[in-house]
Structure formats: structure tokens, C-alpha cells
Amino acid sequence: MAKITVDGQSFEVDPKLTIIQAARDNGIEIPHFCWHPALSVAGNCRMCLVEVEKTPKLAIACSTQVSDGMVVQTASSRVLEARRAVMEFLLINHPLDCPICDEAGECKLQDYAYAHSIGSSRFEEDKVHKPKRVALSSLIMLDTERCIMCSRCVRFCDEIAKKPQLTFTQRGDHVELTTFPGEELDNPYSMNVIDICPVGALTSREFRFKARVWEMSATETVCPGCARGCNMNTWVRNNEILRQTPRYNAGVNGFWMCDYGRLETFRSVNAESRIKSPLVQKESALGEAGWDEAVAHAASGFKTFRKGELAVLGSAFDTNEDNYVIRKFAHDVLGTKNIDFRRHIAPGSDDDLLIRSDRAPNSRGAVEVGVRPAEKGMGFDAILQGVVNGTIKAMYVVDDVLLTMPDIVQVLSRLEFLVVHATAENEGTSIADVVLPAAMYAEKNGTFTNFEGRVQRIRPSVVTLDRERSLDGYAMSRLDRFGSQFDRWLRGSKKDARPTWRIVSGIAALMGAKFKYQSAEEVFDEIAARVEAFHGMSYKKIGNKGLPLNVGKPAHTNVPA
Ligand code: SF4
Ligand code: SF4
């Protein structure tokens, strides 16, 4: 270890670290633009200049390695003077258009201009003008005038996405960022460059001009786009998700997320086509019904079948809590051993960075909490075969992606009685006897277990009519700061979607069982008490980074029957 002193504080640090890393690890942030903890060192912005004792010149903290006995000043008068000079230099040709820039409010250049610049410019000549509104792809817009040539985006493409697509052309103050000839910035992780661009040069074409960052609330949650479970923030204004951005978790996704997870997962939450209330078959057509009527219809329908004629399909898109309750319902209430779920695999789509071919977030969790055939029970294929040959006559299907698959819908259409959970009307809902609107990942509390067995929290960012039920104190406190807007959202919300665990508990109650859960957390506490792989866990312990399943407790052996 090397002993160093930074601004009068002494630390023992790994001698392989640079000054900026060692200082950061010990809570001292040295201003920087081009340095990023996950990228190679470029050392081109000069913002991280610091004074090192016994060294005549100022040193850049991002590329100067620590040594034993090193004494560093990050805020001496020489350092502050140099920092002001760097800021003055960077701002010479910058358009200074913060009032119309999407980055305002989360821009390093803006923040440092307040903290480290002299507040006025001595530059009276014309600024260099460069191309504005350059479409680098269908997702990303470049404002070349705002770019400070830090090269973070270039290094991201080269080193992380492994797709060299960006470069610089020209020289001096005419340098411009551009794509290579004939290339688009279209790698599957391209939008991460927007997050790491320290200024507003790279913006999302989806999000541009939709909201100022301070108008939105950010909720810490997990991407439902595949089995990786990337940590992310969901940004909401007026009960509408406007963007999703990666949230750092060294054990899962680092700093990154893929463009699919960032963009495609929330479109279905915002969709106009969402089912707004329960639907029940009335005189050969689906008609709107209240929750009480729909749940009673489901319960009375299931009661007319023998145990062996029933089957349940859980969902890898639902939480551990949802799947645990559906398993309990199948075993304890319906008395059927025919329970399983379908995996949604896109063969060959795994990559070396994040993306998993399992396109659902909780396949591992569904198995761990027991959504799998009991001894002598039927699995997914056998259940469908049972429908075809007439042994399975009634089914409860919680996975609404199945309802969009024509071959499966064709099989399900042979059933005498079908209850489904759905988010939007589709081929499958049209053949169901009861359609129950289900809350999506952004509308409920719960946990997903990723492919590596890490249990992670999801939290609601969008309000449904299931008000108190879909929000916990954490979410309420975030929404409360918007005061009267909160009630306006609720009145504007037409979605009466509920989490699966609550819907199933309602049907169970009408069939004589008492599932007395008031919250997803209560369901989880029961999982933690009864399923060995989850022993000792709680929402508090899971926190923001997740917890690994208990090692050495394989699935298939640890769920109470
Ligand atoms: S576009 Fe942004 S990230 Fe890329 S070089 Fe310019 S300032 Fe840096
Ligand atoms: S890799 Fe998977 S979990 Fe991560 S952002 Fe993409 S879709 Fe979401």
C-alpha cells in the first residue's frame, strides 16, 4: 500500500491507482471531463490538474500514479487558477445555450462553469461555428458546437461496445466528432454515449425537448428486458415514463444498459392500448366488469372443474412475489400439480457485455419460488398437449406474452374456461372468459432474480388506480413532492391494473383460502421464511444493489409443497 496525503487527509491506497481514483475512493472528487472510471485514460481535457509536492508543474490526476509519501493539493491557488483557465478555454467556442439544452441540470460543463469559472468571458471574437442537429443514428442527435472533444463517446464505442463507429476529423478549434464514412452510431449499446457525454452534445432523439430534468422524478428499479436485470432509473413526469437511464451496479451492469432495455420496455407501460378495467365474457363478447364481478366469475368458473382438469401458467415477466402466490394458489387452492411457465428465449442473442438470450427478467426466480411441475404434474408442453387431447379443460394464464403467440392461442381456444392476466388486448384476450388487467414492472413493488441468482428490487414509478396498493412509502415520498399534481395524475390515470399477487389472492379468498397479504413485501417475507434460497433476505437487506440467492440451495428441493 502507498500512503498519500490529499488536501491534508492521509490515506493508505493501492499503489496501482492514479491520483483521481485514489482521491475518489476516499471521498474527494477532482473535477474532470474526459476521465471515466470504466474507460481508458485520455488525459485531454486538463480539468483534473492538481499540485503534487516536489513536482514543478501541475499534474493531471487521471494519469498520474500515486506513490508512497505523495502529497497532493486539489484546491490550491495554482490549481484553481489552472482550472479557471481550462474552463475559459473550453467555453470560448461553446454556444452557451443552456436554456434550450436537454443536458441542463445534469451537465458537467454547466456545473463546473458555476463552480470553477470566472463568470465572464474575455473572448470578443466570433465563435467557430460547426454543424448542429447531426443525426448520428435514428436514436442519437449530435450538436457539434457543444462537443468539448473529451473522446468519452469514442472510447466507449471502441472499448465497451467494441464497435469503433466514432472519430474526430479536422484540427485545432475546428475538430469535429463524426461517424466513420458510411457508418451510423447503431451498436446495441449506443445510447450510453448520451449518459457519459459530459455536455449536451449527444442527446436522445426520443427524449429531446420533452422535459427538463428537474421536472421528473427518478425511481431506482430494474430493467425487465432480459435475464441480466440491469439496474436503472425510470424518469417520470405527469405519470408518464419519459426515459430510462442506467444505474451503477458493479455486480450486474456496471455503468451501462442496452438500447432495447432503455427504450422498448417502457413503451408498453405508456401504451394507449392498455386494458383499463377487467373484462368478462357476456353473451359471447367481452364486456367491461368491476373487479368484484370479474374475480367472482373466475373463482366460480374454476370451481366447476376437477383438479386434474386444471392447469396454471406463471410468468417469467412477473416478480418472485407474483409467482410465489400463483404457485401457492395452484397447489393449495386449485389443488393442481399442473403448473409451469414458458421461457422466452431468443437463441443466439447473448453477447459478451450484457444482453441475455432469455428475454424475460425472472425465469430464475419463477423456478426458485416453485413455478414448475410438481411430482406427477404436467410441464408446459404436456399442459398444451393436455388441452389438445381434452384432459386439461380450464387454465389460468398469467403470462400475457403467450397471448400474442398465434400457435399457443390456437391451442388455448380449445379450453372450456380460460382466465388470463393481460396488459393490452390481443389475440389471447379475445378468447378468454375473464381478462384481468395486470400491473407492469413500473407499476408495482417486488423482486426479480436475475440469471446469476441475484435478487433485486423493482419499484413503482407510475401510478395506477390501485393507489395505496401499488405504492410504498418510498414511492409516495417521491411523488408527494409534486403535491396537488399527484391527485391530478390519479384522476387522469385510467389504468386499474393490479399486481398478480393481489389478483390471485382475491380469487383465492372467494375459493375459501386466506391469503392475507397487504403488500408485496409481506409476500416476500413469507418467501424468505419458507424458501431456503431466500432465507434471511428482506427488502431492506436487498436494498439498491440486490443480494445473491443462498448458495448451495438448489432449486427443485427447497420450496414447501
Ligand atoms: S460528444 Fe460528448 S462525449 Fe463525445 S467527445 Fe464530444 S463532449 Fe465528449
Ligand atoms: S441487457 Fe437486458 S436487462 Fe440490461 S438493459 Fe438490456 S434488456 Fe435490460
Segment-wise mean pLDDT, segments of 10 residues, the chain, 561 residues: 96 97 97 98 97 96 97 97 95 92 94 88 91 97 97 98 97 95 96 98 96 95 98 94 97 98 95 92 90 97 97 98 98 97 96 98 97 92 98 97 96 98 93 96 96 97 70 55 53 76 97 94 97 96 96 50 44
**What is the residue-wise DSSP string for 28-65?**
-PPP-SS--TTS-----S-TTEEEETT-SS-EETTTPB
Ligand 2, CB within 6 Å, residue ranges:
223, 225-226, 228-230, 253, 257-258, 260-261, 354-355
With a 6 Å cutoff on the Cβ, whether 153 touches ligand 1 is: yes
Question: Ligand 1 atom 4: the closest Cα is on which residue?
Answer: 153
Which is it for strands 49-52 and 9-13: parallel, antiparallel or unpaired?
unpaired
Pocket lining: 39 vs ligand 1, CB cutoff 6 Å: no
Question: What does the pLDDT read at residue 120?
Answer: 83
pLDDT at 556: 45
What is the CA(552)–ligand 2 centre distance, in A? 27
Same domain, 167 and 256: yes
**Shared-domain flag, residues 221 and 367:** no
Same domain, 359 and 397: yes
CATH of the domain at 58: 3.10.20.740
Do 301 and 239 lie in one domain? The reply is no
Asked if residue 460 is part of any domain, the answer here is: no
Please state the atom number of ligand 1 nearest to the C-alpha of residue 156: 3
Which of 326, 290, 324 has the alpha carbon at shortest distance from 310? 326
Q: Are residues 206 and 242 in the same domain?
A: yes
Could you tell me if 240 and 353 lie in one domain? no
CA 438 to chain centre: 19
In a domain, 324, yes or no: yes
201 within domain boundaries:
yes
Same-domain pairing of 396 and 528:
yes
**Ligand 2 pocket check: which of 232, 247, 258 to mutate, most ligand atoms within 8 Å of Cβ?**
258
Which range of residues forms the domain containing residue 425?
Answer: 279-440+497-538
| The predicted structure's pLDDT at residue 493 | 59
Atom of ligand 1 lying closest to residue 152 CA: 3
pTM: 0.93
SS3 (DSSP) at 507? helix
Predicted confidence at residue 463, as pLDDT, reads 86
Distance 546 CA to ligand 2 centre (A): 16
The C-alpha atoms of residue 180 and residue 166 are separated, in whole angstroms, by: 6
Whether 79 is in a domain gets the answer yes
Give the contacts of 343 (CB within 8 A, at least 6 positions apart): 316, 358, 360, 363
Residue of minimum CA distance from atom 3 in ligand 1: 197
What is the Å distance from ligand 1's center to 553 Cα? 47
Q: How far apart are CA 516 and CA 424, in angstroms?
A: 28
Find, among 346, 405, 336, 320, the residue nearest to 375 by Cα. 336
* Residue 449, in any domain of the structure: no
34 Cα to the center of ligand 1, angstroms: 9
Counting the structural domains of the chain, the total is 3
Taking the centre of ligand 2 as the mean of its atom positions, its distance from the CA of residue 234, in whole angstroms, is: 14
The three grid cell numbers given for residue 126, joined into one nine-digit string: 466570433
59 and 128 co-located in one domain = no
386 within domain boundaries? yes
CA atoms within a 13 Å half-sphere pointing along the CA-CB vector of 44: 11
Query: Which residue do the cell numbers 467556442 mark?
Result: 93
Whether residue 399 is found in the same domain as residue 522: yes
Whole-angstrom distance, CA of residue 10 vs CA of residue 73: 12
Which residue's C-alpha comes closest to atom 2 of ligand 2? 226
How far away, in angstroms, is 226 Cα from ligand 2 center? 5
Q: Are residues 318 and 385 in the same domain?
A: yes
- What pLDDT is recorded for position 561? 44
Pairing of strands 285-288, 279-282: antiparallel
Same domain, yes or no, for 213 and 296?
Answer: no
Best residue among 187, 234, 265, 355 to mutate for probing ligand 2, ranked by most atoms within 8 Å of CB: 355
Q: Which atom of ligand 2 is nearest to the CA of 361?
A: 3
Q: Is 177 in the pocket of ligand 1 (CB under 6 A)?
A: yes
- Extract the C-alpha cell encoding 405: 403467440
Are residue 188 and residue 239 in the same domain, yes or no? yes
Predicted local confidence at residue 478, as pLDDT: 57
- Is position 34 within any domain? yes
pLDDT at residue 490 in the model: 56
